[in-house]
Amino acid sequence: MRIFEQKLFKNKVEATGLLLFLLLAVLPLLLGIIYALLYSLGITGLVSDGFTLKYWQQAFTDIELWYSMGYTFYIALATITLTIAGALLLTIYLKEPLQQGFAGFSIYVPLAFPAIVVAFLIFQLASQSGFFARIIYQLGWISSTAQFPELVNDTYGIGIIAAHTFMALPFFTLYFINLYDQENINQLAKVGQTLGASSAQQHRRIVVPILLRRAFPTLTLYTIFVMGSYEIPLIVGRQSPQMISVLVIRKLRKFNLSDIPEAYISALLFITLIIIGLTLIFKNRNFSYDLDQ
C-alpha cells in the first residue's frame, strides 16, 4: 500500500482527493456494472440457478428491447435536431433582443423546471382534453376531444420530444449566444463579409460551423442525457415502445421474475452506449483540462 501510495500520489492530501474521487465517482460505476453483469449471467439473484447465457440470448432475441433502443435513439435525435435548429435560428436572428429586458429573463425560466414538472405541464397542455384542445374547441374548430390530434401518449413520441425540447432549446440558445460572444464570431462574420460573403453565406459557412464544432461535446452529452430520461417518457410516453429507462424499471418490477436479468442486460446496453458516446466526445480536442491545451 505504501509503495503504491508513493508512486501514485505525491502526498496525503492528494491521496485523499483522488481516493474521494475513486470512491464516489469510479467505484460505484464499476460495482454497478459488475452487479448487473453477474445478475444477467445468472450468477447472483434469488431466482438464479448458476451461470447461464440464456438471459443474454433471450435479450438479444427480444424485439421489444431493440425496438425500445431504436425508439430511445429516435427521441434523442429528434430532440437534439429540433433544438439545434431552433437554437441556431434564435441565436442568429434574435440574439440581441433575447439578451435584454423581459425576454432576456424569460429565456432562463425553463431552466428552473424539473423534468417531472415539464412532463406534467405537457400532459396538461397538450392532451386531447388539455388547454390547447380547449382553445381549439372554443374556436369551434373541433367538436369533440377525439378530433384533437394526439400529442401525448402518442405513436411518434411528440409529447416526449416537446417536453425535452422545451428544456433543451433555451439552454442551447443561451449556450450558443455565449459562444457567439466568446469566440468573436461576429468579427469573423464581418471578415467574411468584407471578402464578399452574403449574409446567408456568413451564417452557413462561418457562424453555424463554428458554433456546432464548439458545442459538439455538449450536444453529444445532452443527447445521451435525453436518451437516459425517465420521468418524461413515464408520464407522456406510451405503453409500447418505451424509452430505455422506463423499460429497465418496468422489467425490474414485474411479476415475471425471470425478466429481471433482462432488465440488467438492458441497463448494461445503455451503459455501453454511453461509453461509445463519451469516447466520441473525447476525440474532440477542445474537451480537456486547460493544462493540456
**Which residues within the stretch 82-101 sit at the binding site for another protein (CB under 8 A)?**
90, 93-94, 96-98
Minimum distance of another protein from residue 35's CB (angstroms) = 5
Q: Does 74 bind another protein (CB under 8 A)?
A: no
Comparing CB distances to another protein, the nearer of 85 and 117 is 117
Q: Does 195 bind another protein (CB under 8 A)?
A: no
Minimum distance of another protein from residue 53's CB (angstroms) = 20
Comparing CB distances to another protein, the nearer of 143 and 194 is 143
Among residue numbers 30 through 49, which ones bind another protein (CB under 8 A)? Answer: 31-33, 35-36, 44-46
Comparing CB distances to another protein, the nearer of 197 and 231 is 231
- Interface residue with another protein among 24, 195, 200, 276 (CB under 8 A) is 24
Q: Does 70 bind another protein (CB under 8 A)?
A: no
Q: Does 191 bind another protein (CB under 8 A)?
A: no
Among residue numbers 107 through 146, which ones bind another protein (CB under 8 A)? Answer: 107-118, 120-121, 123-125, 128-129, 131, 133-135, 137-138, 144-146
- Where do we find the cell 380547449? 134
123 vs 117: CA distance, rounded Å: 10
Comparing CB distances to another protein, the nearer of 103 and 191 is 103
Q: Are 58 and 262 in contact (CB under 8 A)?
A: yes
Comparing CB distances to another protein, the nearer of 70 and 114 is 114
Q: Does 13 bind another protein (CB under 8 A)?
A: yes
Q: Does 26 bind another protein (CB under 8 A)?
A: yes
Q: Mark residues 223-262: x for contact with another protein by CB under 8 A, - for none.
A: -xx-xxxxx---x--xxx---xx--xx--xxxxxx-----
